């Protein structure tokens, strides 16, 4: 209750302060619209913004799913051999540090389908946390337990399924929470790049169009939808973490 009530109360106070400042100082809507005007715009422009939200959400979920599958498979390969990890992990880091805005135009040219080009861009942004966290988790097993499994004649597959994967779950789920937000960021950035060419129809494209038209209330409404989507993704993944780890792992136990 407190985890929900306190943020809601803080948000209400900040929105009230924002509304009061805009009204008191008579700030023009083309500079900073009031929260009430943003809400009205969100309702009146919902047919346009709602369709754009579905496009952005589709790209985000596809990219998140792809990053989880590909990142987990790469982590499983890395954990099989230190040589493989040493040879290829720097390239995973290279993907992380390369600005997506620098390579997004190339991906959009190479991948002819607009939707899938955006999915590829967003996947590249969200991939590294899954690889890094899952690899760390698969290697973070107690040496004594590993020796006991080997003493009992456990195969490599049994060691993976019964020891490494359970030990990696907290790390993997932490990577999910990071990757979920990065998937949304990657989708929005890719939409910005593609939107300049007229191929984007998501919320980022609506922000671009609103900026060109000086429709600032619609821009704030689209930004609000992006923010709420990110909060919703994090809340769902946090709930998944508590559900998976709540019964046995100390990181998910409630504080007293």
pLDDT band at 221; cut points 50, 70, 90: very high
Among 73-77, 145-149, 164-168, which is the least confidently predicted range?
Answer: 145-149
Q: What is the number of structural domains in the chain?
A: 1
pLDDT band at 192 (very low <50, low <70, confident <90, very high): confident
Of 41 and 156, the structure prediction assigns the larger pLDDT to 41
Range of the domain at 62: 34-248
Euclidean distance between CA atoms 217 and 228, whole angstroms:
16
Is 0.75 topped by the overall pTM? yes
**Is position 102 within any domain?**
yes
Residue 18 falls inside a structural domain: no
Residue 199: predicted pLDDT: 46
Contact 234, 183 (CB under 8 A): no
- Asked whether 214 and 30 are in contact (CB, 8 A), the reply is yes
Please indicate, yes or no, if residue 13 is contained in any of the structural domains. Answer: no
Q: Which of 57-66, 83-92, 126-135, 238-247 has the lowest mean pLDDT?
A: 238-247
**Tell me, what CATH number does 236's domain have?**
1.10.3720.10
| pLDDT at site 195 | 65
Query: Residue 15 domain-assigned?
Result: no
What are 17-35's pLDDT values in tens digits?
Answer: 999 999 999 999 889 999 9
The span from the CA of 27 to the CA of 33, in Å, is 8
Evaluate whether residue 85 is within a structural domain: yes
Dihedral sign of CA atoms 161, 162, 164, 167 in order: positive
Q: pLDDT tier at 50 (50, 70, 90 boundaries)?
A: very high
The answer to whether residue 3 sits within a structural domain is no
Q: Within 25-142, where are the H helices?
A: 35-44, 46-80, 82-97, 100-110, 114-139
Residue at 106 is within a domain: yes
> What is the average pLDDT across 195-203?
63
């Amino acid at each position: 209750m407190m985890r929900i009530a306190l943020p809601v109360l803080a948000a209400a106070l900040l929105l009230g302060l924002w509304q009061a400042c805009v009204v008191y100082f008579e700030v023009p809507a083309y500079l900073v619209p009031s929260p009430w005007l943003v809400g009205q715009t969100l309702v009146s422009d919902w047919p346009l913004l709602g369709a754009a939200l579905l496009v952005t959400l589709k790209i985000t979920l596809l990219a998140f799913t792809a990053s989880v599958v590909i990142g987990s498979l790469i982590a499983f390969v890395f954990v099989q051999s230190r040589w493989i990890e040493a040879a290829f992990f720097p390239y995973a880091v290279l993907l992380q540090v390369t600005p997506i805005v620098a390579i997004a135009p190339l991906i959009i040219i190479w991948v002819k389908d607009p939707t899938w080009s955006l999915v590829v861009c967003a996947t590249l942004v969200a991939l590294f946390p899954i690889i890094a966290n899952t690899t760390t988790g698969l290697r973070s097993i107690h040496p004594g337990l590993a020796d006991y499994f080997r003493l009992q004649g456990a195969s490599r597959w049994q060691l993976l399924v019964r020891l490494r994967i359970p030990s990696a779950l907290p790390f993997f789920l932490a990577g999910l929470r990071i990757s979920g937000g990065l998937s949304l960021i990657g989708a929005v950035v890719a939409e910005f790049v593609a939107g300049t060419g007229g191929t984007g129809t998501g919320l980022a494209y609506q922000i671009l169009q609103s900026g060109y038209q000086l429709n600032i209330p619609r821009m704030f409404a689209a930004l609000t939808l992006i923010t709420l989507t990110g909060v919703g993704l994090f809340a769902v993944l946090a709930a998944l973490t508590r559900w998976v780890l709540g019964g046995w792992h100390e990181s998910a136990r409630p504080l007293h």
